[in-house]
Each structure stands twice: as C-alpha cells, then as structure tokens.
Amino acid sequence: MRNTTRTLRAAAVTTGAALLFAVVAASPAVAAPGRSALPGSQPAWANAKALRSAAPATDTVDLRVYLPWQNQAQAAATALAVSTPGSASYRHYLTPQEFRKQFAPAQSSVVAVQQFLRSAGFSIVDTPSNNRYVSAEGTVAQAQSAFGVTLGEYDAYGTTLRAPESAVTIPATLNGIVESVVGLDQGADLIAPSHTNGNGSTNGSSPNQVHGAPAAGFRAGEPCSLWYGEKTVAMPNAPAYGTSTKPIAPCGYTPAQVRGLYGLDSVAATGAGQTVAFVGANASPTLVQDVTKYSSLHGLPAPQITQLVAPGLYKHPDTPKQTPGDYYGEETLDAEAIHTTAPDAGLLYVASSNAGQDLDAAINHVVDKHLASVLSISYGFNGEAVHQGFINSLNNTFIQAAATGIGVFVSSGDNGDEVANLGAPAVDFFADSPFVTAVGGTSASVVPTAAAPTGLSYASVDDPTSALNTSGWKRSFEVGWQTGLDPVTPTATDHLSGAPYEVDGTFKLALPGGFTGGGGGGGVSAIFAEPSYQAAAVGPASGRLVPDISALADPSTGLLVGQTQAFSNGTYYDEYRIGGTSVAAPLTAGIAAVANQVAGSPLGFLNPRIYGAYSAGGSAYYDVDQADLFGSALPSVLRVNYVDSESAAGGLSYSLRTEEMPNQTLHSTKGYDTATGVGTPNGASFFAAITK
C-alpha cells in the first residue's frame, strides 16, 4: 500500500469550464523586496517541530521549474470539449503540435528561466518540447541562494526528507512565468505504487528487500480455490454472517477468468492496433521474459513490449527510500493486467529513475510525444496534502492528454477513505484530477458459466489447455473492496491437508476484524471542483467525486501474476496472487484500448462518455451494490497464508476476509457511489454504450 501524507489546506477555484486550484502555503508567503513568493511551496509536513537539521550544502538538488500553460482556462475547456459527446469539437483532438502552438509557454519565458538557473550556478538538464518545465541540477547551497530559502531536514512519515523552511521565492521578473518549483522538497518520495498482497506489508514487499534485486518471493497459501467457492471450509467454532461454512479464497484469477468477469469474450475486439502505455519506477530486467512466459502459460499471445526512458531523467543512484526490486512487481502486474484485457494491444513501458519527481517527466513524455492513446498510472499520494508543484505539473499534463485524445486511467488508492491514515476522509492525488479516469476497486466472484470443470488441481493453473485458461467464466457478483481482516487462532485439530476442510480455530477479533486488508480509495476532493460531467449525471457535490469506475482489486480475489522472484532456494519465475487498484487501473486501461478498437479510432478521455452511459441507463455497467445484494449477510472468504510467504514448511496462518466491511465511510450502493463509481464494465453492453 502507499505511504502517507497527512495535512491538507486547500482552496478550490473555478473559471468557466476550467478547473483551477490554489494550495495554501504552510507558512505565510513573505518575499524579500524584488522577489515574489510561490504559494503552497512549503509542504505541510515541513513544520518547526519536525525540523532536525540543516540540509548539507553540497547535497545534489534535482529540480524542475514549471511554467503554466498560456490561457489555462481555454486549455481545460478545449480538453473537455473534444471529450464530450454533443460538443461541436467532439473527437476533433488537437495534435501535439497544435496544442503546443496554442498553449505551450512562450520560448522567451523558457529562456528567462534557463538564464535565471544558469546565473545561480545550476546546470540545465532538459526542457521538453511542450516547454512545460526546465529541469536543472545544482547543490543545496545554490538552491538556497536562487530561491531565497533555507533547506532543512525533517522527520516525516518514518523517514528524513528535505524541504524549504519557508515559502519559495523567485525574482519578481519571473512572476507569472514560473508556476511552481518541484524538487526542492523530497515529498515525491512519498509516492508509491498501489498494489498489495493483502497482508498489510508495504506494497506487499519484504522489509528485507535487497537493493536492486528481484522482489522477495511470495506465493498464495494452499489450499486455495481455483474459482470462487470451488473449495469451502467448515468453521464450527467461528461462524460468521449466519453460516459456519466459508469459501476458501481463490488462488488468483487467470486471464481467462478475468476476461469472463468483464464479458470480454463477448466482443471480437482484443485491442489490436492500440498502444497502452504505463509508467513506473526503475525497470525490471526480467519484464519481457516474465510477461512472455506468463502469456505462454495462460493462453495469451506473445506480448509486444517496448521499453524506454524519458529524456532528461536524473542519472544519480536511487535513493535507499526506494528500492528498485520493490517496483519490479508493479511493472510486471501492469503489463500482465493490460495484456489480459487487451491481449493484442502493444505495451509501452516508460521508466523513470524513481517513483518520485521523475514520474511526472515520464508521464509528460508519453503525453507530449503522443506515444499511446491510453495511459495507465498505478501510483499516487495518500490524500491531497501535496505540494502545489505536483498538483499543477500533473494536472496540466492531464489536460494536454485529454485535449490530444489520450485516455488516462489512475488507481484510486488502496487505503479506502484514508481515515485510518489521515484521521479524516480524503481522496488521493493523482486520482482526484478531473481529467483522469479514477479507477476504484472491487472484490469479485468468478465462477464457471456451465457445469464446474472436474479433474483440476492448482497445477492446472499453468496448463494453457486447461479450463482455467480458456473461455467459460462469468461474474457471480462484485462488491466494493473494503477488506476486514480477522485472524483465526488455529487449533491442533484443524484439517487442511485435503477435503473436507475444517478449521476449528476461533476469531481473534470481533467481526469484521480490522481494516488491514486494504480498500479501494474514494470520496470527495477538497481541491478540485465537481466537473460538469459528474454533476449532470449524479447531482451536485462539494467537489470532484472519486472513483469514476471500478474493477477487480481485492488481493483475496486477486489477479494471478508471474514474475521472477528471489526465493530461499534460488531466483526464478513463479506466480502469485496480487491485488490493489494497481490491478484495477491497468485492467480498465486495457478495456479502454478494446473500446478504441471497437470505435475505430481513439475515444480519448472517457469520463464524459462514462457518465453519459450511466445517465442513459441500460446495462452498460454492473451495479456494484452490496447493500441490496447481501444486506447483513456479508460475503467473506477464509484465506490461508504461508507464514514464510513461500511454503507450508514454515507453517500456515488463517484469516477471515470480509470483502466489504460495513464500518467504513465508503459503501457500494445502488447507482453511483464513492466506493465503486458507476460500477464495473458489463461486457458487450458496455462497449455498445461507450462507443456510441
């Protein structure tokens, strides 16, 4: 799961069709004579109580000075107009060249920023073709002199981060030219991928991860079910929700099962002719071979994978706060999830040297060079307490994406309503941008469409000819992903070596247990106003509503992925079950690629169409609605874990996973809700509605 940020002070401003914003500074923005302060440039966590020391003067500072779009309100209005059915300019997307001509910062402004930085001793690293920023490299001492601040070292969220001790200032001659400065503070180190194995450890990775090595090995514990309800367990001493018999958690759904879940076998399109890009930190050296092997084992065509690094990214070694091996699994699951729902689409991985401030450059490169018509992002902050530079830089890039016909799909987060982390409900940035499709999470039951297959074992998962890897699967139900985890105290009489399975243990906690299994992010933004496409469909709200749509995310009903991992007996390819909205976002991005193929040309930013189809009624979406589907008899599964994450030799642990626990602020109900948005794609009906 993601790391956390905590305190937000924000104000929302709307101008016509544009969705603009201002973040209030953590301290008064007082500038010396001849200089202008940048509001919101000091992070909220950089307060006097957390200050520990001055930043070393010779430390390297990698920064980007962002310039605003010319006529930002018109840029936002254009992005909405080309994306909205009924508009005179609908689907008349701008080319990157046309967008730059109308909205890119003037070259004279770029030169002024470059001259300022050079005069302060910085080396210019890169300026992209859309003039969004000037990236530069220097020292702490040079940064302090250039921006009129003192940089300090702060205790923040269990680590040490650098930040300005006051508001950042710029020469008055750059007022109106400079929008923000990114990189003076190290808040971007708090960005993390939103995937989890559901055990409560950060991102599902080991605290003993070796820097630069493949991720520590993990396998789903056995027994596990080949589909939802395939195996059940008697729990005579721990009845739950009206029954003492529970399904055993699935081993991990295969691509064929996920395709059945969303009715993808009911359409002929497979994403052919489309390219789906995804971004991430570092680069797994085994990505291509892992996805290729995964495809061969699960009846998918060989993947078409291209990898590149955006220009101008920093070449320094990764910070120890971000271990490369922790991100290999994110890259792999993104690729395999997209390949599952769009098996004939091209995959483009754009890497950055870290998950922090370089991620914005990777996203900007995909968008400005129009490298794909669909972009999947499985990263973000917890909450909206984000430096204004990150908000401005990413949101303006998302505006360009929409204006040029690129659909961006972002994971909504893995901490539910964020109350457990932040003390109050909050949505996550980047998912709160009104120019992205925020993808929430569900827990899903996938079952055979006809008679249950026989003669299958867990080994059948890797047989491409088995029923587990061919069509013949459907949705039984989906509920919102807000997991309650209740450990089970085992007894000596437990029987899990073969059917009939029985666990005689008792619950450690009162049901539904603790909120430690994760949950899809959602709620109401405190930064962004409610966009018109939402207001027209679901009514007025105090801010942008998250998510827009949802897909499979619960790690206890998760996706089976294959990856090279480091086990105690060697490093090799193996498979495991994973979840998080990092699964939901790329699955949905792949579905969007299929929609593009069905439509015959890119559909771009889908939100106006998503909400238009919702308003029209019909069966485009499966209405995720636990409240009416189950009432108080909440769906739950018994999950078996290996204590050592590898095998039964280290012992087993058990827990009951309540799939959508009732004591959260996010609940799936009839119609739109901030747990699952409009619902989940419903096969051919979804494609018919979304491509009208």
End-to-end Cα spacing for the chain: 37
Q: Cα separations (Å) of 411 from 91, 158, 382?
A: 25, 24, 11
Instruction: Answer yes or no: is pLDDT of 56 > 80.
Output: yes
Q: What is the rounded average pLDDT of the residues 37-46?
A: 86
Instruction: Answer yes or no: is pLDDT of 34 > 80.
Output: yes
d(CA 349, CA 308): 6
Instruction: Answer yes or no: is pLDDT of 83 > 80.
Output: yes
d(CA 537, CA 611): 6
Q: pLDDT tens digits for 466-519?
A: 999 999 999 999 999 999 999 999 999 999 999 999 999 999 999 999 998 799
The widest CA-to-CA distance across the chain, in whole angstroms, is: 80
What the block records as the tokens of 691 is 């491509």
Strands of 180-182's sheet, edge to edge? 123-126, 133-139, 60-66, 180-182
Domain segments of the chain as ranges: 10-192, 234-690
Residue (of 363, 681, 338, 673) closest to 520 by Cα position: 673
CB neighbour list of residue 503: distance below 8 Å, 6 or more residues apart: 233, 234, 235, 238, 488, 490, 494, 495, 496, 638, 654
What the block records as the tokens of 133 is 């920023």
> How many CA atoms within 13 Å lie on the side-chain side of 654?
28
Q: pLDDT tens digits for 536-578?
A: 999 999 999 999 999 999 999 999 999 999 999 999 999 999 9
Instruction: Answer yes or no: is pLDDT of 20 > 60.
Output: no
Instruction: Answer yes or no: is pLDDT of 216 > 90.
Output: no
Q: pLDDT tens digits for 339-349?
A: 999 999 999 99
Q: Are the C-beta atoms of residues 352 and 189 closer than 8 Å to each other?
A: no
d(CA 664, CA 661): 7
234-690: in CATH 3.20.20.10:
no
Confidence category of residue 325, pLDDT binned at 50, 70, 90: low
Average pLDDT, the chain: 89
The pLDDT, as a whole number, for residue 251 is 97
Residue (of 415, 528, 548, 434) closest to 6 by Cα position: 415
Instruction: Answer yes or no: is pLDDT of 185 > 50.
Output: yes
Q: What is the rounded average pLDDT of the residues 36-58?
A: 91
Q: Are the C-beta atoms of residues 403 and 78 closer than 8 Å to each other?
A: yes
> What type of residue sits at position 388?
Q
CB neighbour list of residue 563: distance below 8 Å, 6 or more residues apart: 214, 215, 284, 286, 290, 328, 329, 332, 333, 573, 574, 575, 576
d(CA 625, CA 673): 9
Q: Are the C-beta atoms of residues 74 and 149 closer than 8 Å to each other?
A: no
Q: pLDDT tens digits for 277-316?
A: 999 877 788 999 999 999 999 999 999 999 998 887 765 5
What the block records as the tokens of 150 is 């003192």
Q: How does DSSP classify residue 680?
A: E
Residue (of 339, 328, 329, 196) closest to 254 by Cα position: 339
Q: Are the C-beta atoms of residues 288 and 305 closer than 8 Å to each other?
A: yes
Confidence category of residue 210, pLDDT binned at 50, 70, 90: low
The pLDDT, as a whole number, for residue 351 is 85
d(CA 363, CA 349): 11
d(CA 486, CA 246): 14
Instruction: Please tell me the least confidently modeled range out of 194-203, 518-527, 622-631.
Output: 194-203
The pLDDT, as a whole number, for residue 19 is 36
Q: pLDDT tens digits for 408-437?
A: 999 999 999 999 888 999 999 999 999 999
Entry pTM: 0.93
Instruction: Give 651 or 13, the one with higher predicted confidence.
Output: 651
What the block records as the tokens of 275 is 């390219």
d(CA 308, CA 351): 6
Q: pLDDT tens digits for 231-267?
A: 999 999 999 999 999 999 999 999 999 999 999 999 9
What the block records as the tokens of 78 is 């254009």
At residue 635, φ and ψ (nearest 5 deg) are -70, 140
d(CA 127, CA 422): 36
Q: How does DSSP classify residue 482?
A: B
Helix (H) or strand (E) segment spanning residue 607: helix 607-616
Beta strands in 282-361 (DSSP E): 304-309, 346-352
